[in-house]
Amino acid sequence: MPDALNISSLAFAYPGSPWSLNVSDLTLKTGQQMLLTGGSGRGKSTLLHLIAGLEQPDAGTITVAGQDIHALRGARRDLFRGRHIGMIFQTFNLLHGFSALENVMAALMFSDVPRREHRERSRVLLEQLGIERWNAPPAELSIGQQQRVAVARALVVEPALVLADEPTASLDPENTEGAITMIQKACRERKAALLCVSHEPAMTERFKHQRSLDDLAATEVTRGDD
């Protein structure tokens, strides 16, 4: 089985900017969970965009589930992303005017799941994540519930890789621990690898595997269990 993610000799810079992002190597095995740390403005979100194929690197390769994502173009890359990569954003990016259920179903549009199964599959996952009001629009849900909808949307296609960009940034401290526990558990149950980027110090105790953007050539830090 191919690695969920493999990055080699990656280089990226915005045109006209002195800032640059370089990653010599980064690998996630199937189902592995990793925390990627780095200060604000260091490039954490940019790296996730590169992995998802939303930005084009200047050099290097990014392979997701055995596929060089940047070897794909246009609709083929979009289809691959929709089928193999789940994304959790710090602001959730839920669609206003759509119900929680419809937000999750939207992620299945680019999947191989038969259309007749979209509604039931989305409903079951939402209920597993504690969302019983799946017909409610996001605006009527609490922040914590909105995050659960975002997690369901990321996982409904059963992706090989989930990318989480500061997933607890919108939550108060009381809900942060429960939220990351929920994300890790949901990924683990579906055997999806998880790459979580955050600068929250509390996150470091939650991940066995850790890397820093400031020193990606260093050996992974190990703390407890996944």
Q: Does the structure show a pLDDT above 60 at 16?
A: yes
pTM: 0.90
**pLDDT confidence of residue 11:** 94
Reported as a single tens digit per residue, the pLDDT across 204-225 is 888 999 999 887 744 444 444 4
Residues pairing with 5 in the sheet = 28, 64
Residue 182 CA to residue 189 CA, distance in Å, equals 11
Helix, strand or coil, per DSSP, at residue 198: coil
CATH number for the domain running over 5-222: 3.40.50.300
Q: Does the structure show a pLDDT above 80 at 143?
A: yes
Edge-to-edge strand list for the sheet holding 59-64 = 21-28, 5-12, 59-64, 67-68
Residues pairing with 12 in the sheet = 21
Domain boundaries, the chain: 5-222
For residue 44, CA distances in Å to 21, 97, 101, 137 come to 9, 30, 30, 30
